[in-house]
Amino acid sequence: MDRLLDQREDYYVSRRFSEPRWIPRREPVIHGDWSPHSPLTREQQDAFVHDGFLVLENLFRPDEIAVLESELSRLRGDPSELQAETIIAEPRSREIRSIFAVHNQNFLFKRLAMDQRLIDIARHILGDEVYIHQSRLNYKPGYVGKEFYWHSDFETWHVEDGMPAMRAISASILLSENVPENGPLMLMPGSHRHFVACVGETPEDHYRSSLRKQEYGVPDRESLARLFDRHGVATPTGSAGTVVLFDCNTMHGSNSNITPLPRSNAFFVYNAVSNALQAPFGAVAPRPEFVATRNQIRPLKSLSGPLRPQTGS
């Protein structure tokens, strides 16, 4: 593996050294030029560049969310139509934590991933046609929903998937109300400007454990303390239908949910077609297709109109 990696330029080297390193970001945060016709206002674009995330309140209407919530509950109650490997349980229970590759297994969530309200923004930010690098439904049920530890998605996508550059964004569509008490997403504003290289060689088939609880590819405590002192933590909350967009390198995580209030979201990662995956930069073998799209690189069409209940696949 080392000989292969040494033959390629890797600006964001991680999990290869005994001490953490901070590497300045070299890609722009937004690749598209702003104009009055852009899908973001000037203020929204400036906020995304500065903070590495943006909250779009009530992007989807209550009737659309009702349709999505119904399908979310149906899949959780009867996941028999889903591929077994895409269903991830909580670390210490049989409760469903995530359903991966949901856009490839469910018509309604495929339609959501292709919604013009999301696609237009993704194309603008990334300055390219886009495809789904990863999709999933995240469940954080009351009392038992466990935390997602602090991490930069790009660190994992680069090291384990072979994503070359920081040219991807995540869209978290809130499917239930997020309040401070039920473990909402937490982000460090401005943390996207530096790549924090992590310590610890990637174990073989790391995804089998990391999707339940990530222990490699997470920053050391000293780096997290520095990030916290420099940037602080923002905790976006909002009603169902709100969308949180964040850069692939923004440090983020969430607490456990010990309240009776469940929290759930649909999560889509849009990657620029020009940023398609290569061989992993720090793993023996690439993660499977349901975690990281490698073989189905097709630009997404955007679909307009309201979300409606439908059947199909």
Prediction pTM value = 0.91
Q: How many H helices and E strands in the chain?
A: 8, 12
Dihedral angle, C-alpha 237, 242, 248, 251, nearest 10 °: 0
Give the architecture-level CATH label for domain 2-33+44-275: Sandwich (2.60)
Task: Quote the pLDDT of residue 216.
Answer: 63
**3-class SS letters over 188-243:** CCCHHHEEEECCCCCCCCCHHHHCCCCCCCCCCHHHHHHHHHHHCCECCCECCCCE
Task: Quote the pLDDT of residue 59.
Answer: 97
Q: How much helix, strand and coil, in percent to the nearest 5, is found in the chain?
A: 30, 20, 50
Find out whether 169 and 270 touch, Cβ atoms under 8 Å: yes
Q: What is the pLDDT along the chain (313 residues), one digit of tens a residue?
A: 343 444 578 999 999 888 999 999 999 999 999 999 999 999 999 999 999 999 999 999 999 999 999 999 999 888 889 999 999 887 666 778 899 999 999 999 999 999 999 999 999 999 999 999 999 999 887 767 777 789 999 999 999 999 999 999 999 999 999 888 888 899 999 999 999 999 887 766 554 544 444 566 789 999 999 999 999 999 999 999 999 999 999 999 998 878 888 889 999 999 999 999 999 998 888 999 999 999 989 999 999 999 998 654 4
Please give the Cα distance from 15 to 262 (Å, whole number). 35
In the chain, where the domains are located: 2-33+44-275
